[in-house]
Amino acid sequence: MWIDMMIPINHPGSLSGFQAALPEPYMFDRPDRFTSYQHAEHPHALIKDDHHQWYLSMRWECESLTELKYMRQVHRPSYADEQTILKLVDYLNETSFTAKMDDFDKAFVHTTIFTDNVEDIPPGRQLRIANADGEDDPSVIRNLHFIDNLYNGRRTRFLSGFETYSMATVTENRYYLEHVHLPASAALYLQYFVYFQRYGYVPSKQMMARLLENLWTSTQAKKTNWNPALFTVEAVTDY
């Protein structure tokens, strides 16, 4: 599974060696919503939004949901022993970036999984993927909220986590995965998601952005202004 993450950080300091790049036209309603700074020698990017908030952005891969659960930790939780590997915590320490997250302990995350058939992944596991839950986490939510996209007879499913700063994509379309999603959409949709979580809306007029905003709104506890006709709800019985 591929893990795209964005972590709010304090000002990163010097940008020596980093090159700024604005998004392609029409991705956002204004081109300055996010500015990405890339460095040829670093696996991470630095991103600044139009509220002058900075983020550390990277993509990692992992093999299990439990690994994902611990990978996105920004701070070491009290229940984790010293042998538990917290990859992001270690990375922040090594690179001297300081996370600016006092009210939540995990990075914003977009998880991507390829499968031969979406139905091969039980709804309960899809919900765990959407919530970035470990295999042994307790079940709380009993519904799965998602949008299905069909292209050349192959499905791609976009799922929303429930108050977990997480979202996910499960696809059986290898062409979409390799030529569209991983090169562009995975990181773009995460930027939409972060902006939505922090400022309350998705700054884009594109159809998919609007549909995702409606989906994400439906999984927030204090929001009621969403259209139930624009996504699917499936009851989970195998969590």
User: pLDDT, tens digit, for every residue of 127-168?
Assistant: 999 999 998 888 889 999 999 999 999 999 999 999 999 999
Confidence of residue 239 (pLDDT cuts 50, 70, 90): low
In this prediction, residue 37 has a pLDDT band, given cuts at 50, 70 and 90, of very high
Q: How confident is the model at residue 81 (pLDDT cuts 50, 70, 90)?
A: confident
Q: At residue 155, what are phi and psi to the nearest 5 degrees?
A: -95, 145
Res 51 pLDDT > 90 = yes
pLDDT of residue 80: 78
pLDDT of the residue at 136: 84
Mean of the per-residue pLDDT values of the chain: 94
pLDDT recorded at residue 23: 78
pLDDT in tens, 159-205: 999 999 999 999 999 999 999 999 999 999 999 999 999 999 999 99
Distances (CA, A) of 209 to 4, 50, 221: 18, 18, 21
Average pLDDT over residues 31-39: 93
| Res 18 pLDDT > 90 | yes
List phi, psi (to 5°) of 197. Answer: -65, -35
At residue 53, the pLDDT reads: 97
Q: What is the pLDDT of residue 172?
A: 98
Of residues 83, 57, 59, 58, the one with CA closest to residue 70: 83
Query: Does position 15 have pLDDT exceeding 70, yes or no?
Result: yes
Q: pLDDT per residue over 52-77, tens digit each? A: 999 999 999 999 999 999 999 998 87
- More confidently predicted of 81 and 217: 217
**Mean pLDDT on 114-121:** 97
Return d(Cα 212, Cα 123) in angstroms, integer: 19
